[in-house]
Structure 1
Protein backbone atom coordinates (compact mmCIF):
# COMPACT_ATOMS: atom_id res chain seq x y z
CA UNK A 1 0.00 0.00 0.00
CA UNK A 2 1.53 3.30 -1.03
CA UNK A 3 1.47 6.42 1.06
CA UNK A 4 0.38 9.53 -0.84
CA UNK A 5 2.49 11.77 1.42
CA UNK A 6 5.72 10.05 0.36
CA UNK A 7 7.53 11.44 -2.65
CA UNK A 8 10.62 10.04 -4.26
CA UNK A 9 13.22 12.68 -3.58
CA UNK A 10 16.64 12.91 -5.25
CA UNK A 11 18.47 12.23 -1.95
CA UNK A 12 16.55 9.00 -1.39
CA UNK A 13 17.19 7.95 -4.98
CA UNK A 14 20.94 8.65 -4.55
CA UNK A 15 21.03 6.65 -1.31
CA UNK A 16 19.31 3.67 -2.91
CA UNK A 17 21.61 3.90 -5.92
CA UNK A 18 24.70 3.90 -3.70
CA UNK A 19 23.60 1.10 -1.38
CA UNK A 20 22.18 -1.11 -4.11
CA UNK A 21 25.46 -1.41 -6.00
CA UNK A 22 26.68 -4.97 -5.84
CA UNK A 23 28.79 -5.63 -2.71
CA UNK A 24 28.42 -2.13 -1.23
CA UNK A 25 26.09 -3.02 1.64
CA UNK A 26 28.10 -6.17 2.41
CA UNK A 27 31.29 -4.11 2.61
CA UNK A 28 29.59 -1.68 5.00
CA UNK A 29 28.33 -4.67 7.03
CA UNK A 30 31.87 -6.04 7.34
CA UNK A 31 33.27 -2.64 8.36
CA UNK A 32 30.69 -2.29 11.14
CA UNK A 33 32.97 -4.66 13.10
CA UNK A 34 35.74 -2.03 13.02
CA UNK A 35 38.72 -0.99 10.89
CA UNK A 36 40.00 -3.63 8.51
CA UNK A 37 42.73 -4.07 5.97
CA UNK A 38 41.92 -4.68 2.31
CA UNK A 39 42.94 -8.36 2.41
CA UNK A 40 40.72 -9.07 5.41
CA UNK A 41 37.66 -7.58 3.71
CA UNK A 42 38.50 -9.46 0.51
CA UNK A 43 38.93 -12.76 2.40
CA UNK A 44 35.61 -12.32 4.21
CA UNK A 45 33.76 -11.92 0.88
CA UNK A 46 35.25 -14.74 -1.21
CA UNK A 47 33.19 -14.08 -4.37
CA UNK A 48 34.29 -10.44 -4.50
CA UNK A 49 37.26 -9.67 -6.74
CA UNK A 50 40.03 -7.38 -5.55
CA UNK A 51 39.32 -5.04 -8.46
CA UNK A 52 35.63 -4.71 -7.52
CA UNK A 53 36.48 -4.25 -3.83
CA UNK A 54 38.93 -1.46 -4.68
CA UNK A 55 36.29 0.21 -6.86
CA UNK A 56 33.58 0.02 -4.20
CA UNK A 57 35.91 1.27 -1.45
CA UNK A 58 36.87 4.26 -3.61
CA UNK A 59 33.19 5.05 -4.23
CA UNK A 60 32.38 4.77 -0.53
CA UNK A 61 35.37 6.93 0.34
CA UNK A 62 34.28 9.57 -2.21
CA UNK A 63 30.80 9.58 -0.63
CA UNK A 64 32.28 10.05 2.84
CA UNK A 65 31.07 6.65 4.08
CA UNK A 66 34.50 5.01 4.38
CA UNK A 67 37.79 6.43 5.62
CA UNK A 68 41.06 5.15 4.16
CA UNK A 69 43.89 5.52 6.66
CA UNK A 70 47.50 5.08 5.55
CA UNK A 71 50.06 4.27 8.25
CA UNK A 72 53.67 5.06 7.28
CA UNK A 73 55.14 1.77 8.43
CA UNK A 74 57.32 -0.70 6.60
CA UNK A 75 55.50 -2.13 4.79
CA UNK A 76 52.85 0.55 4.52
CA UNK A 77 49.63 -0.40 6.32
CA UNK A 78 46.28 0.76 4.97
CA UNK A 79 43.05 0.32 6.90
CA UNK A 80 39.48 1.07 5.99
CA UNK A 81 36.87 2.12 8.52
CA UNK A 82 33.44 3.68 8.56
CA UNK A 83 33.04 7.39 9.10
CA UNK A 84 30.20 8.75 11.24
CA UNK A 85 28.17 8.84 8.03
CA UNK A 86 28.97 5.16 7.43
CA UNK A 87 28.24 4.10 11.01
CA UNK A 88 24.87 5.82 10.71
CA UNK A 89 23.94 2.99 8.32
CA UNK A 90 24.10 0.44 11.15
CA UNK A 91 20.36 0.54 11.99
CA UNK A 92 19.51 0.08 8.31
CA UNK A 93 21.88 -2.85 7.89
CA UNK A 94 20.62 -4.38 11.15
CA UNK A 95 17.02 -4.12 9.96
CA UNK A 96 17.93 -5.79 6.65
CA UNK A 97 19.62 -8.57 8.64
CA UNK A 98 16.56 -8.96 10.86
CA UNK A 99 14.20 -8.95 7.87
CA UNK A 100 16.30 -11.57 6.08
CA UNK A 101 16.22 -13.83 9.14
CA UNK A 102 12.45 -13.53 9.37
CA UNK A 103 11.53 -13.79 5.71
CA UNK A 104 14.22 -15.50 3.63
CA UNK A 105 14.99 -19.20 3.68
CA UNK A 106 18.46 -20.28 4.65
CA UNK A 107 20.61 -21.12 1.64
CA UNK A 108 21.64 -24.74 1.37
CA UNK A 109 25.38 -25.22 1.93
CA UNK A 110 27.37 -25.33 -1.31
CA UNK A 111 28.49 -28.80 -2.29
CA UNK A 112 32.13 -29.45 -1.57
CA UNK A 113 34.21 -29.90 -4.71
CA UNK A 114 36.13 -33.13 -5.00
Structure 2
Protein backbone atom coordinates (compact mmCIF):
# COMPACT_ATOMS: atom_id res chain seq x y z
CA UNK A 1 0.00 0.00 0.00
CA UNK A 2 1.33 3.40 -0.95
CA UNK A 3 1.73 6.40 1.35
CA UNK A 4 1.08 8.73 -1.55
CA UNK A 5 -2.20 10.50 -2.04
CA UNK A 6 -4.10 9.41 -5.11
CA UNK A 7 -3.04 11.34 -8.19
CA UNK A 8 -5.57 13.90 -9.28
CA UNK A 9 -5.84 17.02 -11.33
CA UNK A 10 -4.02 19.86 -9.52
CA UNK A 11 -4.88 23.49 -10.13
CA UNK A 12 -1.40 24.99 -10.10
CA UNK A 13 -2.78 28.53 -9.98
CA UNK A 14 -4.53 27.83 -6.67
CA UNK A 15 -1.36 26.28 -5.25
CA UNK A 16 0.65 29.29 -6.40
CA UNK A 17 -1.93 31.66 -4.89
CA UNK A 18 -1.67 29.89 -1.52
CA UNK A 19 2.13 29.91 -1.65
CA UNK A 20 2.14 33.61 -2.55
CA UNK A 21 0.11 34.36 0.59
CA UNK A 22 2.59 32.46 2.76
CA UNK A 23 5.77 33.38 0.91
CA UNK A 24 8.54 35.47 2.32
CA UNK A 25 10.76 35.17 5.31
CA UNK A 26 8.29 36.34 7.95
CA UNK A 27 4.64 35.50 7.28
CA UNK A 28 4.75 31.88 8.34
CA UNK A 29 6.75 32.78 11.47
CA UNK A 30 4.18 35.45 12.33
CA UNK A 31 1.26 33.09 11.77
CA UNK A 32 2.83 30.37 13.92
CA UNK A 33 3.52 32.87 16.70
CA UNK A 34 -0.10 34.06 16.63
CA UNK A 35 -1.28 30.43 16.55
CA UNK A 36 0.81 29.57 19.63
CA UNK A 37 -0.55 32.55 21.57
CA UNK A 38 -4.14 32.62 20.21
CA UNK A 39 -4.11 36.42 20.51
CA UNK A 40 -1.03 38.61 20.69
CA UNK A 41 -0.07 42.28 20.76
CA UNK A 42 2.23 43.92 18.22
CA UNK A 43 5.10 44.49 20.68
CA UNK A 44 5.02 40.87 21.84
CA UNK A 45 5.01 39.66 18.24
CA UNK A 46 7.98 41.89 17.49
CA UNK A 47 9.86 40.37 20.45
CA UNK A 48 8.92 36.79 19.61
CA UNK A 49 9.72 36.94 15.88
CA UNK A 50 13.48 37.24 16.14
CA UNK A 51 15.10 39.72 13.76
CA UNK A 52 11.98 41.32 12.29
CA UNK A 53 11.80 45.11 12.08
CA UNK A 54 8.71 47.10 13.09
CA UNK A 55 8.23 48.17 9.49
CA UNK A 56 8.38 44.63 8.13
CA UNK A 57 6.10 43.30 10.87
CA UNK A 58 3.57 46.03 10.10
CA UNK A 59 3.73 45.25 6.37
CA UNK A 60 3.27 41.50 6.89
CA UNK A 61 0.43 41.97 9.37
CA UNK A 62 -1.40 44.26 6.94
CA UNK A 63 -1.05 41.70 4.15
CA UNK A 64 -2.28 38.86 6.36
CA UNK A 65 -5.25 40.99 7.47
CA UNK A 66 -5.99 41.82 3.82
CA UNK A 67 -5.98 38.10 2.96
CA UNK A 68 -8.30 37.48 5.96
CA UNK A 69 -5.76 35.10 7.53
CA UNK A 70 -5.53 37.15 10.72
CA UNK A 71 -7.74 39.76 12.31
CA UNK A 72 -6.72 42.97 13.98
CA UNK A 73 -8.77 43.92 17.02
CA UNK A 74 -8.39 47.36 18.52
CA UNK A 75 -9.14 47.86 22.22
CA UNK A 76 -10.17 51.41 23.02
CA UNK A 77 -9.29 51.34 26.68
CA UNK A 78 -6.51 52.93 28.67
CA UNK A 79 -3.95 52.33 27.42
CA UNK A 80 -5.36 51.52 23.97
CA UNK A 81 -3.86 48.49 22.27
CA UNK A 82 -4.25 46.16 19.31
CA UNK A 83 -4.24 42.36 19.29
CA UNK A 84 -3.90 39.96 16.39
CA UNK A 85 -5.46 36.51 16.13
CA UNK A 86 -6.05 33.92 13.44
CA UNK A 87 -9.38 34.03 11.65
CA UNK A 88 -11.34 30.87 10.87
CA UNK A 89 -9.63 30.91 7.48
CA UNK A 90 -6.23 31.36 9.15
CA UNK A 91 -6.89 28.47 11.54
CA UNK A 92 -7.71 26.25 8.58
CA UNK A 93 -4.04 26.27 7.58
CA UNK A 94 -2.83 24.99 10.97
CA UNK A 95 -3.14 21.29 10.02
CA UNK A 96 -1.24 22.06 6.81
CA UNK A 97 1.53 23.77 8.77
CA UNK A 98 1.67 20.73 11.06
CA UNK A 99 1.90 18.42 8.02
CA UNK A 100 4.71 20.59 6.61
CA UNK A 101 6.52 20.28 9.94
CA UNK A 102 6.23 16.48 9.81
CA UNK A 103 7.32 16.40 6.17
CA UNK A 104 10.28 18.70 6.89
CA UNK A 105 11.35 16.46 9.76
CA UNK A 106 11.09 13.38 7.53
CA UNK A 107 13.11 14.99 4.72
CA UNK A 108 15.73 16.24 7.18
CA UNK A 109 16.06 12.72 8.63
CA UNK A 110 16.45 11.20 5.16
CA UNK A 111 19.09 13.74 4.15
CA UNK A 112 21.03 13.26 7.38
CA UNK A 113 21.08 9.44 7.11
CA UNK A 114 24.56 8.07 6.63
Question: TM bucket by the smaller chain?
Answer: 0.7 to 0.9
Specify every segment of 5 or more residues in structure 1 that has no aligned partner in the other structure, as ranges. 106-114
Structure 1 counterpart of 2:48 = 44
How do 1:16-95 and structure 2 match up within 5 A? 16-33=19-36, 34-95=38-99
Deviations 1:58-92 (A, max 9, x none): 00000101100000011211000000000001011
TM-score (norm: length of structure 2): 0.80
State the aligned residue count: 103
Quick check: which one's helix share is greater? 2
Structure 2 counterpart of 1:100 = 104
**Following the alignment from structure 2 to structure 1, what is the Cα–Cα distance between the partners of residues 56 and 12?**
29
The root-mean-square deviation of aligned C-alpha atoms, in Å, is 1.8
Structure 1 residue ranges, 4+ long, deviating more than 4 angstroms after superposition:
none
Cα offset for 1:100?
2.5
